[in-house]
Amino acid sequence: MKLLKVVANNFKNCKDNFSIDFLPKSRIYSQDKEYELQEIKENLYRFNTLAIVGKNASGKTTALDLLDCCYSILGNFRVENKNYDYNNTNLKIYFIKENYIYKYEADLVKNDIYNKAIFKNEKISKKRYYKSSINQIYDDDKFEVVEFKSKLPEDISTLFFVLNSSEERALYFDSFGKGANTYKEVFNLIDTYKIDKKIFMDIVKLFDTNIKRIEKKDTYNYIIEYSNCEKIVSETELLYLLSSGTTKGILLYLLMVISLTQGIDLIVDEIETHFHKTLVDNMISLYKDKKINKYNASLIFSTHYCELLNLFERQDNILISRLEDGKISLLNMYVDEKIRNDILKSARFYEDTFKTNVDYNDLMTFKKDLMV
């Protein structure tokens, strides 16, 4: 199963028909097939990487929250314990499974008592995928409604009948990390996904070359060896001992390894936070490398680091978030902006071509008020 497109209405403060599409919009060249795109079905390509850029408070995190919501439904057939508002949201999710394109439609109503979604007006349709009809993949034509005789509890989506068993469809890393539970989460992930200890230490050394070993001793304690010194420390002590950048970096890179080895998409909010640009560049390059990204995982991230976009050979996998009149919209760099390929994308951002820079007058007002 691979997610193709999401369309939402009444999700937070997004504009109507707010959509995120993983399929290319511009011509596909042989080089794109090698580095930028993954072929998930004959002649059906999906982005290896998808970037969302924009000002602070322009809606980048909102877009990622929407994806998190959809992946939760696709993976666990429910939405629960979320810190964002999805009440009265109307969703339309397109995905491919085996030889069929599915369209799932539903309204979400939040149950505040249990902090979970109730699914209303669910409808699932499908049509067979043909490579000759790639340009009509989302057209309503030939979609047929799928009927199910059995019923489920109102907090479980009928997608259960299509996808059969729950599994992780996406991993979500936000800019806050996991706080006091970070290393508990790290070692739970290592155990769950059977990550090789050597790979884990390779990750650790990327962020702190002084660390020789980190191991879980028991439920509450860890062994750390660094600078020819070995200590047994609690999780809280380990957090204080290592920098916040090292801790977040270890968790993010571990999630990346799981993503690449399991074919699970990785969603990262503010990918550049606390990390050296070289490490972020490396992440993007790994998703482009088919020898490493063997199972068609995608990296979906928001960023303020417009230089990262120069690593993208295409434009249609760059979305620009914009807040106007209290409503969030997403513009596709290729479809909506049509900039020339021979001009660095970062240069266009610095020129404020996409209206993503901090307002100059606001900066001058701030400077003037400081002088008083």
Q: Identify whether residues 21 and 151 lie together within a single domain.
A: yes
Q: Is the dihedral of CA 72, 78, 84, 90 positive or negative?
A: positive
The pLDDT tens digits of the residues spanning 361-372 come to: 655 664 565 555
Q: Identify whether residues 127 and 185 lie together within a single domain.
A: no
Q: Identify whether residues 62 and 183 lie together within a single domain.
A: no
Q: Is the dihedral of CA 187, 188, 191, 192 positive or negative?
A: negative
What mean pLDDT value characterizes the chain? 89
Are 3 and 74 a contacting pair, CB within 8 Å? yes
The pLDDT tens digits of the residues spanning 158-178 come to: 999 999 989 999 999 986 666
Q: Identify whether residues 16 and 108 lie together within a single domain.
A: yes
State the DSSP code for 164.
-
CA atoms of 246 and 251, how far apart (whole Å):
9
pLDDT at 346: 52
Phi first, then psi: what are they for 202, rounded to 5°? -60, -40
pLDDT at 366: 47
Are 315 and 333 a contacting pair, CB within 8 Å? yes
Which one of 240, 263, 286 terminates a domain?
263
pLDDT greater than 90 at residue 40: yes
CB neighbour list of residue 115: distance below 8 Å, 6 or more residues apart: 80, 81, 82
Which one of 230, 245, 263 terminates a domain?
263
Q: Identify whether residues 231 and 124 lie together within a single domain.
A: no
Name the token pair of 128: 């067979």
Q: Identify whether residues 16 and 46 lie together within a single domain.
A: yes
The pLDDT tens digits of the residues spanning 202-259 come to: 999 998 999 999 999 998 999 999 888 999 999 999 999 998 889 988 999 999 999 9
Q: Identify whether residues 197 and 304 lie together within a single domain.
A: no
Closest of 39, 4, 47 to residue 138, by C-alpha: 4
The pLDDT tens digits of the residues spanning 288-332 come to: 999 999 999 999 999 887 777 788 888 899 999 999 999 999 999
Which one of 228, 263, 298 terminates a domain?
263
Print the domain residue range for 17.
2-169+265-371
Tell me the sheet residues that pair with 318: 51
Which amino acid does the sequence have at 139? D
Query: Could you tell me the pLDDT band of residue 106, with boundaries at 50, 70 and 90?
Result: very high
Query: Could you tell me the pLDDT band of residue 278, with boundaries at 50, 70 and 90?
Result: confident
Determine the length of the chain: 372
CA atoms of 78 and 57, how far apart (whole Å):
28
pLDDT at 277: 79
Q: Identify whether residues 215 and 101 lie together within a single domain.
A: no
Q: Identify whether residues 255 and 307 lie together within a single domain.
A: no
Q: Identify whether residues 46 and 123 lie together within a single domain.
A: yes
Tell me the sheet residues that pair with 170: 265
Q: Identify whether residues 137 and 49 lie together within a single domain.
A: yes
Q: Identify whether residues 24 and 129 lie together within a single domain.
A: yes
| Cα 250 → chain centroid | 18
Q: How many domains does the chain have?
A: 2
